[in-house]
Amino acid sequence: MRNNLLKRLISFVLSLCMTMGIMPFAANAENMTETKLIALTFDDGPNATTTNEILDILEEYNAKASFFLIGNNIDDKSSASVKRAYEMGCEIGNHSKTHPNMGSMSAEEIKTEVEFVNEKVYDITGEYPRYFRPPYIDTSQTMYENIDMPFICGIDCQDYMENVTAEQRADHILNGAKDGVIVLLHDAAGNSQTVEALRIAVPKLIEQGYEFVTLTELFRRQNETPKKNMIYTYVTKYPCSGYTKHKNIFIGEAKGEPSWSGWSKTAVLDVNFLEELGDSYAVEVEYSCEYEPVIALQKWSGEAIWHPVKPSYFNGSKACFLASDIQDSLESLGVSYTDLDRISVTPYGGNMTITNVDILMKNSVSENVMGDVNSDGKFDIADLIVLQNWLLGRENKLADWESGDLCADNKLDAFDVAAMRRKLLTV
C-alpha cells in the first residue's frame, strides 16, 4: 500500500510539472541565479492615502508585503485600503489598538489591545491576523504568554524620522537587504518620503534577484516554523544540512545575562584549531533565549577588540555560524585568528541558556548522494518535492542542484523529475 501511495504521489508530481509547462524549461549552470526572499512590512496604517500609494508601487512590481494595523486607524475609508491589500495577496497583521508601550501592561490590558484589532481585521478580510508587531518593539513575558501570534521586528530603516530623506531610507533598505530579511517601514498618513524610498529601492532589489513575499510565505519558503518567546528580524534557511558533527566544545547547561563572568569559560573556541579548519567548518549552538547568541572575537593585548559575530541562522533554539561569518569579521577588523586572545560563544542580550556547542565540518563532494537536492544526506520523496517546487518557482534555491541533474546534461527540467521517479521506485 505504501508503494502504491508513493507511485501515485510521484505520478501526480510529474503530471503537475507537465501541466504547468515545465517540460520546455531548462535551468542550467549559467542561468540558475538564486532568488533571495525579502519581506517588506509596514506599520501604523491603515489610511486612504499613503497606504494606497504604497499599494500602487507593490502592484506595479507584482510584489507582496505585510501591513501591521493600528486598530484606531481603521475606519470606513481606510478599511477599503486594507481590503485592497488583502485582495492583492498582501498579509494583514496586528500592531495593537492604540499603539501603547505594552511591556508594562497587564494580561487583560494586552488582550484588549490585541483582540480589538483581530476582530476588525476579521470583519474586513474574513481572516484573523497571523503575526503581531509590538509597538516600539517593547516586549515582555506577559505579552508572549497572552498574544497567540509570532512577534515580528525587522531591520530599522529610520523612516519614522522626518529628517531622514527618501534617499537615506532607500539606502537603509538596500544596505540591510539579505535573503530572509524582514524590513520594518511605516505607511502612516503623510509619510511620502517612504513612498519615494520604495520607488528607489524596489526596482534595485529586483535587479539584485530579490522576491517580495509575505511573512507567511517567508517562513514557508525558508522551511521555518515560527516559535513563541522570540521576535523575528530574519528568517533564513538552515545552512548546515551538508555538515556533520566534528567536535563537541560544550555540553551541559550554562545560563545567565551577557555580563555573567561564566561565559568566558563556557564555550571557548581554540583559535589555532579554527585556523587549521579553513573555510569548511561551522559552529552550531543549542540555546534558549528571545535573542540569538553571538561569537565574541576578543583581544585585550595592545589595541583592545570586542567584536560580536552574528549567526547566519538562528531560530530560538539553534544557531549556526559559518566559517565565512567569522572570517569576514576578522578581515574587517584587520586581524587573524591567532591575533585574538579569545573566541567564545556568548549571549548578546537577554537571559540565555546554552546547552550544547559543536564544531561541524562540511561534507566532501564524494559524500554527496545523487538526487539529494536538499542535502540532508539521503535521497527520498522529499527531494522530488523540493525539485518540483523549485521548478515551479516555489523554492528560492536548491541546496545542491548538481545532485538533481540525473540526466547529466547540466540542466534541471522535467526529465530529471522523471529520472527521480524511476530512481525512487527502485529504492
Query: Would you please indicate which residues are annotated as catalytic (active-site) residues?
Result: 43, 186
Closest CA to 285 of 325, 320, 238, 311: 320
Give per-residue burial for 161-177: e unless 16+ CB within 10 Å, then b: eeebebeebbbbbeebb
| Cα separations in angstroms, 74 against 51, 95, 262 | 12, 12, 50
d(CA 372, CA 386): 10
Amino acid letter at 372? Answer: D
d(CA 360, CA 340): 22
Helix (H) / strand (E) containing 248: strand 243-256
d(CA 387, CA 395): 8
Rounded to a whole number of angstroms, the distance between the first and last alpha carbons of the chain is 16
d(CA 143, CA 229): 9
Closest CA to 52 of 95, 84, 25: 84
115 Cβ partners below 8 Å, 6+ apart? none
d(CA 214, CA 118): 18
Our CA angle for 113, 114, 119, nearest 5°, is: 110
d(CA 384, CA 261): 49
* Longest pairwise C-alpha distance within the chain: 70
| Cα separations in angstroms, 312 against 159, 249, 296, 300 | 26, 19, 15, 26
SS (H, E, C) 339-362: HCCEEEEEECCCCEEEEEEEEEEE
Helices (H) and strands (E) counted in the chain, each on its own, are: 13, 19
Strand 318-322 to strand 313-314: parallel, antiparallel, or no bridges (unpaired)? antiparallel
